[in-house]
Chain A
Amino acid sequence: MNFTQQEMGPGVRLYLCPTDKFKTLTCKVFIQQDLQPREAAQTALVPLLLRRGSQRFPTTGDIARELEDLYAADFGSDVLKIGERQILEFHFQMVDPQFLPQGQKLLRRSLETFWEIASRPYGEGGFFEPYFQQERHNLVQELEGLINDKRTYALVRCTALMCAQEPFGIYKYGDADTVRSLTAGEVYAHYQKLLAGYPLDIFVVGSQAKKAAEILAGLIQGRDGQQKLQPPQRVEVEQPRYFEENMDVQQAVLVMGYRTKLTYPDGDYYSLLVGNGLLGGFAHSKLFINVREKASLAYYVSSSLEGSKGLLTITAGISGEQKEQAVEIIQRQVRDVQEGRISAQELEQTKRGLISSMRSMQDNPSSLVDRNLIGIVHEELRSIEEVVEAIEAVTLDSVVRAMGHLQLDTTYILRPSPQKGAGHGTD
């Protein structure tokens, strides 16, 4: 279940996976650009504006009625951050035409609808101003609403503090102040530039992938595709930093950010991936066993790897009073992995676990596509077989070597205000 790749025009690459395994046809389009403060905010508004209406379907209701009529076809658009790239995504999924009455006709109509919504927003020579005003307000609300999910908020805050001087510190949707200052004209101009000039990757999965790609090729026209992009910045840690924030919450969220030095293009990358798995990727990992099962300090504790920028982040939900103890146990687990105190069983379990989740992606069209995002950013796609082979080749020594580069940069904790008890509501 791999993709065949072909160039489809200036800066456009097409990846096809014809298969009759699924009951759906899935298309995803990714347009990438360098992560920059103003552009991040501009791009973040695009998905919100697209769902308001297009030339042929001028309102949200018109779009929704058309999609329902196509047997609940799904159009979606979002913004992602991979390393120091911001990615504008359009995706489309429909029931495989073979299960629908007049499937062939519906396939063409559906894809035309897809590209209509993605590329022809409602308005005359720009976004419709009332839609723009409202969606700009909604995006500000969404950014200010980050605080509603304490775990996500803590992660975003830690990243922003740690990478304050680097593009990676920018949140994927930009920041509220920048969004407030945006004009419809500049957002539209930026959106047009993205459509015409930035690298664009299309993935199609389904029994009619070839046919779908032909139709899409006819729809995606008029590109110059000349835009060149930058690689991510590398930074040395000078002195570990500590930040604390108080809020009226029931539980503290602890986030520890490490620099990995190694990233996707490096030889030892898969040893780092296994190292992260040993540390906190699974329920058999050191963090889960020691912080949760042995010390009963947390319900959730895990680590995750951002392989494009090179960051390893540990997150735990703990009691505010137990911070010192939690940090100490966590740091001991990191040292244990770095110094090779890893049993043969742990190493084997972690490799098996990573290989299983890699192979499992072939059972879901969306994961099958999304696993390639880091590959398109680094212009090196790797097949599932290649990755499985690379994980198989990881040894205790290579894990120790890879994890040896890890350096703690920033510790952040969001915790209950000391002078007040846990927050209780009032009726």
Chain B
Amino acid sequence: MEQIKLPGGETLFQERLANGLQVMVLPKRQFLRTFGILSVHYGSLDSKFELPGRGAVEVPPGIAHFLEHKLFEEEEGSVFDRFAAWGASVNAFTSYNQTSYFFTTIDHWRESLAYLLEFVHTPHLTEENVEKERGIIEQELRMYADYPEHRIVATLLENLYHENPVRLDIGGTVESVRSITLAELQLCYDTFYQPGNMALVVVGDVEPQAVLELVRSSCPAGGNGQAVLRVDPAEPSGIVKPWAETQLPISRPRYMLGFKHDPLWRGQELLRMQIAMTLGLRLLSGRSSQAYAQLYGEGLVDDSFSASFRGHPRFAHSLISSETDDPQALHGRLVQIIDGLKAGGVEEGEVERLKKGFYGLFLGALDSFEYTANRLTAQYFEGTPYYSYLEVLAEVTARDVQSALAEMLDWERSSVSILRPVQSHG
């Protein structure tokens, strides 16, 4: 297996199997848990794709997430039961670009890993169990619809994007979930659940070679050998709508500002942009920033004030949000502050101190199995070289941050989403 030294003294072992599955093992001495996560490079963005002999196919939103639910059903009963017998736990999540299945175990990693590979590779879809799942997913979607933080982002992404499926809920809509058919689920499963489109990460006190051997013997020999052909709709440069307000039963208004970017970076450049923008946005919303001190002092933001950059090969945007009594006034002040930062307000000393903080955060995060495994998976699917994070961090300068902010925070491509309270009738 290929060995890669990680910062903090650990070694990553990796190998791509003949069937195309990428296997990564990170041994963690002294730890009791073993965490295994099998990810499919398939998420809510992938509702349009090409099939040999059939051309482009488009399916309703929410299929990747629906499949995630259904794979927990096996012919001989529930997947949860099998893991429970070993005292292990199992769960899954679906994001824009991946579906991941993971277990945590103390003393049954072999059984857990073998069964993880087995249940993900053996779907058991029937008309009856597909029908039954609709009610459960509908309640899941309704739960999210009542989360203000979910609603504000959903509205903002609808404002920013015309075509990119990032504008849709990962789970789809109540209507699309009702319309999804067994045949569509099967088609998407067959298309995307191919070893060549998957990655496995195991973190724990395990021997990499033993993991590799087990995976080899319990994985299907080969997939269909076809590369997945995703069709990304062309996204216009401009936004849909600069401003939207929604009423919800909440206690006070919430404000969110979003900037749409062109997702042009790959590999090391994407990582560099992620670091530069994350540093830059800290100068705006970080607790050590002048901007935060001013806005907090003026009573325009509270502890919920935050800003983040999502940079991905298929979409990129920055989101800035806070609860506030006065969304208009906050917007006006943010325009001033952001323009100030763009015009040369990035100071070298500030950036260097923030970088020291990022160094510490990176080392501390190595203790989190889940975080580390997610970074390794993203590295493989998205090509952002996680293990050179500290090198890239060291290279990023105040000037990089300055020019990233100036280029990315383009008002022409920004939009605002506001939630306002309605009086609830009780």
A65: CB under 8 A from chain B? yes
Q: A68-B356, A251-B139, A299-B140 are in contact. Are A61 and B250 (CB under 8 A)?
A: no
Interface string of A233-273 (1 = CB under 8 A from B): 00000000000011111110000000000000000000000
A167 interfacial by beta-carbon distance below 8 Å: no
A425 to chain B, nearest CB (A): 3
Q: Is the CB of B248 within 8 A of A23?
A: no
Q: Is B357 an interface residue (CB 8 A)?
A: yes
Is B132 within 8 A of A296, CB to CB?
A: yes
Q: How far is the CA of A192 from the CA of B151 in the complex (A)?
A: 42
Does B310 touch A at the CB level, under 8 Å?
Answer: no
Contacts of A324 in B (CB 8 A): none
- In the assembled complex, the Cα of A151 lies from the Cα of B142 at a distance in Å of 12
Indicate whether B217 reaches chain A with its CB closer than 8 angstroms: no
Q: Check if B84 sits within 8 Å of A284, measured CB to CB.
A: yes
A148 contacts partner chain B, Cβ-Cβ < 8 Å: yes
Contact of A147 with B250 at beta-carbon distance under 8 Å, contacts A283-B89, A284-B78 already known:
yes
List residues of A (53-106) whose CB comes within 8 Å of B's CBs: 59-61, 63-65, 67-73, 93-95, 99-100
- What's the nearest-Cβ distance from chain B to residue A1, in Å? 9
Q: Are B353 and A68 in contact (CB under 8 A)?
A: yes
Interface string of A344-360 (1 = CB under 8 A from B): 01001110110111011
Cα A289 to Cα B84 in complex, Å, equals 13
Contacts of B52 in A (CB 8 A): none
**Nearest Cβ distance between residue A230 and chain B, in whole angstroms?**
33
Q: How far is the CB of A110 from chain B (nearest CB, A)?
A: 11
Per the bound structure, the CA–CA distance linking A69 and B244 in Å amounts to 40
Q: Is the CB of B136 within 8 A of A298?
A: yes
Q: How far apart are the CA atoms of A350 and B86 in the complex, in Å? A: 10
Q: B426 to A245, Cβ gap below 8 A?
A: yes
Max chain A C-beta neighbours (<10 A), residue from B81, B143, B151, B289:
B143
Q: What separation, in Å, do the CA atoms of A205 and B146 have in the docked complex?
A: 39
B148 touches A148 (CB 8 A): yes
Q: Are A60 and B292 in contact (CB under 8 A)?
A: yes
| Residue in B closest to A144 when the chains form the complex, CB atoms | B251
Residue of B nearest to A419 (CB): B425
The residue in B78, B90, B133 that gathers the most chain A C-beta atoms within 10 A of its C-beta is B78
Flag whether B56 is at the interface (Cβ < 8 A): no
Does B137 lie at the interface of the complex (its beta carbon under 8 Å from any beta carbon of A)? yes
Q: Which of B192-200, B295-303, B340-348 contacts A (4 or more CB under 8 A)?
A: B295-303
* B139 CB contacts on chain A under 8 angstroms: 251, 297-300, 317-319
Interface contact A417-B136, CB-CB below 8 Å? no
Question: Are B252 and A297 within 8 A (Cβ)?
Answer: no
Closest residue of chain B to A94 (Cβ to Cβ) is B360
Whether the Cβ atoms of A293 and B78 lie closer than 8 Å is yes
Q: Is the CB of B132 within 8 A of A427?
A: no
Contact of A349 among B81, B146, B244, B366 (CB under 8 A): B81
Judged by a CB distance under 8 angstroms, whether A304 is at the interface is no
A398 at interface (Cβ–Cβ under 8 A)?
A: no
Q: Using Cβ atoms and an 8 Å threshold, which residues of chain A touch B353?
A: 65, 68-69
Contact indicator B289/A61 (Cβ below 8 Å): yes
Other-chain contact of B89, A24, A100, A148, A353 (Cβ < 8 Å): A353
Q: Once the chains are docked, how many angstroms separate the CA of A71 from the CA of B356?
A: 5
Contact with B along A175-189 (1 / 0, CB 8 A): 000000000000000
From residue B156, how far is it (CB to closest CB) to chain A in Å?
A: 13
List of A residues within 8 angstroms of B132 by Cβ: 296
- Please count how many residues in chain A sit with their CB below 8 Å of the partner chain's CB atoms: 80
B8 at the interface (CB under 8 A from A): yes
B residues less than 8 Å from A24 (CB atoms) = 364, 367
Looking at the complex, which one of A93, A248, A293 makes contact with B424 (CB distance below 8 Å)?
Answer: A248
Report whether B136 and A292 are in contact in the complex, using a CB–CB cutoff of 8 Å. yes
Note all chain A residues with C-beta closer than 8 A to B84: 282-284, 349-350, 352-353
Which B residues are CB-close (under 8 A) to A144? 251-252
Interface contact A355-B143, CB-CB below 8 Å: no
| Chain B contacts for A19, CB-based, 8 A | 30
The B interface is mostly helix, strand or loop, or mixed, namely mixed
Shortest Cβ gap from A23 to chain B (Å)? 5
Query: A214 at the A/B interface (Cβ < 8 Å)?
Result: no
Minimum distance in angstroms from A177 CB to a CB of chain B: 15
- Report the Cα distance A365→B364, complex, angstroms: 12
Q: Which of A22, A61, A70, A147 contacts B251 (CB 8 A)?
A: A147
A-B contacts at CB below 8 angstroms, number: 205
Residue numbers in B under 8 Å from A293 (CB-CB) = 78, 136
Which of A70, A144, A427 has its CB near the most chain B CB atoms (within 10 A)? A427
Q: Which residues of A lie under 8 Å from residue B146 when comparing CB positions?
A: 150, 249-251
Complex Cα distance A48/B175, Å? Answer: 44
**What residues of chain A lie closer than 8 Å to B369, measured between beta carbons?**
363
Residue contact A248 to B246, C-beta cutoff 8 Å: no
Question: A140-167 CB contact bits vs B (8 Å, 1 = yes)?
Answer: 0100111111110000000000000000
Is A134 touching B250 in the complex (CB atoms < 8 A)? Answer: no
Known interface pairs A64-B286, A64-B288, A423-B249; A23-B142 also in contact (CB < 8 Å): no
Q: Does B87 contact A (CB under 8 A)?
A: yes
Say yes or no: is B155 at the interface (Cβ < 8 Å to chain A).
Answer: yes
A21 contacts the other chain (Cβ, under 8 Å)?
yes
- A276 and B171 alpha carbons, distance in the complex (Å): 31
Q: Is A2 an interface residue (CB 8 A)?
A: no
Whether A251 lies near B356 (C-beta < 8 A) is: no
Residues of A within 8 A of B104 (CB): 356, 360
Instruction: Determine the chain B residues whose CB is within 8 A of the CB of A318 once the complex forms.
Output: 139
The residues of B that contact A359 with a CB separation of less than 8 Å are 32, 106
Q: Using a CB-CB cutoff of 8 Å, which residues 276-293 of chain A contact chain B?
A: 282-284, 288-289, 292-293
Beta-carbon contacts under 8 Å, B22-52 to A: 30-33
For residues 103 through 157 of chain A, which have their beta carbon under 8 Å from a beta carbon of chain B?
134, 137-138, 141, 144-151
Q: Is the CB of A423 within 8 A of B248?
A: yes
Cα distance A251–B15 when bound, in Å? 46
The answer to the question of B59 belonging to the interface, with a C-beta cut-off of 8 Å to chain A, is no
Q: How far is it, in angstroms, between the C-alpha of A65 and the C-alpha of B354 when the chains are bound?
A: 8
Which residues of chain B (89-136) have a CB below 8 Å from chain A?
89-91, 104-106, 132-136
Central interface residue in B31, B85, B364, B424, by most chain A CB within 10 Å: B364
Question: Are A426 and B30 in contact, CB atoms less than 8 angstroms apart?
Answer: no
Q: Counting CB contacts under 8 A, is B187 at the interface?
A: no
B363 within 8 A of A: yes
- Least CB distance from B201 to A in Å reads 17
Asked if A362 is an interface residue, CB under 8 A from chain B, the answer is yes
Q: Report the bound CA distance from A4 to B89 in whole Å.
A: 31
| In contact, A360 and B32 (Cβ under 8 angstroms) | yes
- Residues from chain A with a CB closer than 8 A to the CB of B30 are 19, 21
Contact A64 B287 (CB under 8 A): yes
CB distance from A65 to the nearest CB of B (A): 5
* Distance from A138 Cβ to chain B, minimum over Cβ atoms (Å): 6
B145 within 8 A of A: yes
Closest 7 CB pairs of A and B: A352-B87, A71-B360, A425-B246, A296-B135, A72-B360, A64-B288, A64-B287
Q: A293-B78, A360-B33 are in contact. List 16 more A-B contacts (CB 8 A).
A: A61-B288, A69-B356, A94-B360, A99-B8, A246-B426, A247-B424, A247-B426, A248-B249, A283-B78, A283-B80, A299-B139, A300-B139, A345-B81, A353-B89, A363-B31, A427-B246
A-B contact pairs, 21 of them (CB 8 A): A60-B296, A71-B357, A72-B361, A72-B364, A95-B360, A138-B302, A145-B250, A147-B249, A147-B251, A147-B424, A247-B426, A250-B142, A292-B136, A296-B135, A297-B135, A299-B136, A319-B142, A356-B106, A365-B367, A419-B425, A427-B244
B residues adjacent to A (C-beta < 8 A): 8, 30-33, 78, 80-81, 84-91, 104-106, 132-137, 139-140, 142-143, 145-148, 151, 155, 244-252, 286-290, 292-293, 296, 299, 302-303, 323, 353-354, 356-361, 363-364, 366-367, 369, 422, 424-426
